[in-house]
A and B are shown apart, each in its own frame.
Chain A
Amino acid sequence: MSLRFVIVAGPPSSGKTSAMLHTIAHLKKSGMPVAACKIDCLETADDRRYRQLGIPVAIGLSEYLCPDHFYAVNLEEVWSWARQQNAEVLILETAGLCHRCAPAVEGCLTICVIDNLVGLETPKKIGPMLSTADIIAITKGDMVSQAEKEVFRDAVETVNPGARVIHVNGLSGQGSLALKRAILATRPLEKITGQALRYSMPAATCSYCAGETIVGGSFQMGNIKKIDFGESESCCKK
């Protein structure tokens, strides 16, 4: 009962689904049974795009919960679902929104999708989602100069020197063969239970977690952290 567990994360509109649709098409041509699961916050239309490939598709919406925590507590269930579909490759796509978390799990192939248009400082800002990935797929390279492609790739590799960088074009599918090969080269995982997250999740246990909406110290309970304004405080008192 083994499964190649592939985690795909990246900023909104970076081209995660487009890149994966081409990759799944290649996997299907190789006769590999694939299932896809999308974890999002409030709503998603990506399931329709995945369904067009004729593969089993599941969606998880975190709604009132932190999407990253929601993701972590559902990994076992997603695993079981994919096994029930007789999939040998599972593509788990997650919206990385707050850039504090990383969905990467030991033993799973983690792909971070980022596009060339976001600016040179962004790889640093994306944080652990990028720095803990096995593969970094850079999209939209057809829109920028060769020079920017090279400089951007360098900025990405500075944040995650160990990752393999693949340039992917979500429109033409260019680069998706390399993604397919990387997925097929991944050793299938025997079980997800007991595998470790590569980066710890942030604590989220305060009154706002429980549904509080009013601003103000007297409405706050639990794990509260305040900004340290340092020396700038004195100038404000004047």
Chain B
Amino acid sequence: MLQKITVMGGVDKNGHPEPIRRLDIHPGEVLAVVGPTGAGKTQLIADIEQYREGEAPTGRQVLIDGHPYAHDPLNPGPRHLVAEVSQKMNFIIDTTVEAFLARHARVRAIASPETVINTVLTVANQLAGEPLSPTDNLTRLSGGQARALMVGDVALISNAPVVLVDEIENAGIDRLSAMAILSAHGKMVLVVTHDPTLMLMAGRRVIMKNGGMHQLHRTTPAEIAIMETLAAREKDISRLRDTLRSGQQITDNVPNKETQETWQAFYCTARSTSAGRSAR
């Protein structure tokens, strides 16, 4: 059982040591990787995925339970440690959902494939806006259905202890439920995101800047409160989306307009709690 993944700091794009010198990630933790485009978020994920050993360009070293990954060609170390879900991925195999999941379950030597396949389908249907059937062709799935199926499959069939998630916010699925499903069973989840709700859903977030790990914040109670408000608001939005998509009209019960003060209050709290504080 994997206890810990450690990233030892390397250098940023200018070759200066990155401020965060050590980052430990533990089972059951969700870590958000945030920062502007080009700040090095995806590179950090890639470094972890290939267990960097201090080589260029980032000079980071990745330790598994405190030890460097065994790069011995004769003994290539743990195999199924990391699974990835990204927005760029597509299904390309021309077969049915059911047949494919069965094949994947066989590759992963899963004892009772039928049960797992049913669970994956249930999960996928919970995440996708439109239902997906076991006899659907993989390559004909919509973007949202495909992403939902990938999440269910990574959570239940791949079942790797480390899950890397790259920008699934625009994938057309219920991403908060997706994160909850992925982080279940004591997995370590790293999520690259531009979405404030996902950032605050993580217990910690590492802020990337100019290729380096710049700051590390623990989510404050005030931020958790904001996250809950945002999540509730998103539920309202998604309910509204379903209502409108199903052809209904809204004629009464119009909610009050958002008062600006509420948001100002949020920003003030956010500033006061996170100023100067960076959790280890």
In the complex, are the beta carbons of B55 and A26 less than 8 A apart? yes
Contact A142 B104 (CB under 8 A): no
Measured between beta carbons, the chain B residues less than 8 angstroms from A119 are: 92-94
Q: Is the CB of B46 within 8 A of A172?
A: yes
| Contact residues in A for B158 (Cβ distance below 8 Å) | 146-147, 150
| B111: Cβ under 8 A from any A Cβ | no
In the complex, the answer to whether B56 meets A142 with C-beta atoms within 8 Å is no
B104 CB contacts on chain A under 8 angstroms? 147, 150-151
Q: In which size bucket is the chain A interface?
A: 20 to 34
Which of chain A's residues have a CB closer than 8 A to the CB of B71? 178, 181
Chain A, residues 168-181, CB within 8 Å of chain B (1/0): the string is 00001011011001
A206 sits at the interface (CB 8 A): no
B150 partner residues in chain A, CB cutoff 8 A? 145-147
Shortest CB distance B27–A (Å): 19
| Chain B residues positioned under 8 Å from A116 (CB to CB) | 92
- Among the 9-residue stretches B5-13, B15-23, B81-89, B222-230, the one with 4 or more Cβ atoms under 8 Å from chain A is B81-89
A205 to B248 Cα, complex, angstroms = 76
Residue A120 is within 8 A (CB to CB) of chain B in the complex = yes
Closest CB in chain A relative to B163 CB, distance in Å: 9
Number of residues from B at the complex interface, CB < 8 A: 35
Q: Does B189 contact A (CB under 8 A)?
A: no
Taken together as a complex, chains A and B put the C-alpha atoms of A176 and B109 apart, in Å, by: 29
List residues of chain B with CB within 8 A of the CB of A151.
93, 100, 103-104, 107
B153 surroundings in chain A (CB, below 8 A): 145-147
Tell me whether A145 and B55 are in contact (CB under 8 A).
no
Whether A178 pairs with B90 at a CB distance below 8 angstroms is no
Query: C-beta contact mask, A151-179 vs B, less than 8 Å → 1, else 0?
Result: 10010000000001000000010110110
CB of B137, distance to nearest CB on chain A (Å): 14
User: What CA separation (Å) do A144 and B88 show in the bound complex?
Assistant: 8
Question: Would you call A88 an interface residue if the criterion is a C-beta within 8 Å of the partner chain's C-beta atoms?
Answer: no
Contact among B73, B84, B100 with A164 in the assembled complex (CB-CB below 8 Å) = B73
Q: Does A209 contact B (CB under 8 A)?
A: no
List of A residues within 8 angstroms of B46 by Cβ: 172, 174
Could you tell me if A146 and B93 are in contact, using CB atoms closer than 8 angstroms?
no
* B63 located at the interface, meaning its Cβ lies under 8 Å from any Cβ of chain A in the complex: no
Q: Tell me if A29 counts as interface (CB < 8 A to partner B).
A: yes
Is B206 at the interface (CB under 8 A from chain A)? no
**How many residue pairs bridge A and B at CB < 8 Å?**
75
Q: Please tell me if the beta carbons of B90 and A145 are within 8 angstroms of each other in the complex.
A: yes
- With contact pairs A29-B56, A151-B103, A154-B107 given, residues A144 and B91 touching in the complex (Cβ less than 8 Å): yes
A144 touches B92 (CB 8 A): yes
Question: Which of A116, A142, A185 has the largest number of chain B CB atoms within 10 A?
Answer: A142
A221 within 8 Å of B (CB atoms): no
CB A118 to nearest CB in B, in angstroms, measures: 9
Residue pair B107, A185 in contact (C-beta under 8 Å): no
Chain A nearest CB: distance from B195 CB in Å?
Answer: 21
Instruction: Tell whether, in the assembled complex, residue A174 and residue B89 are in contact, meaning their CB atoms are under 8 Å apart.
Output: no
Contact B107 A150 (CB under 8 A): yes
- With the chains together, A110 CA to B118 CA distance in Å? 42
What's the least CB distance linking B178 to chain A, in Å?
14
Query: Residue on B with the closest CB to A176?
Result: B50
Instruction: Choose among A26, A120, A142 the residue that contacts B86 (Cβ–Cβ < 8 A).
Output: A142
Could you tell me which residues of chain A, from 84 to 107, have a CB within 8 Å of some CB in chain B?
A: none
Contact with A along B29-62 (1 / 0, CB 8 A): 0000000000000000010011011011000000
B108 CB-CB contact with A under 8 Å:
yes
A: residues with CB less than 8 A from B are: 26, 29, 116-117, 119-120, 142-148, 150-151, 154, 164, 172, 174-175, 177-178, 181-182, 185
A-B contacts, 19 listed (Cβ < 8 Å): A117-B92, A119-B93, A119-B94, A142-B86, A144-B90, A145-B90, A145-B91, A145-B146, A145-B149, A145-B153, A146-B89, A147-B100, A147-B101, A148-B91, A151-B93, A151-B107, A177-B53, A178-B50, A185-B73
| Interface, chain B (partner A; CB < 8 A) | 46, 49-50, 52-53, 55-56, 71, 73, 76, 80, 83-86, 88-94, 100-101, 103-104, 107-108, 146, 149-150, 153-154, 157-158
Known: A147-B154, A174-B49, A175-B50. 6 other contacts (CB 8 A): A142-B86, A142-B88, A143-B89, A145-B149, A148-B93, A150-B107
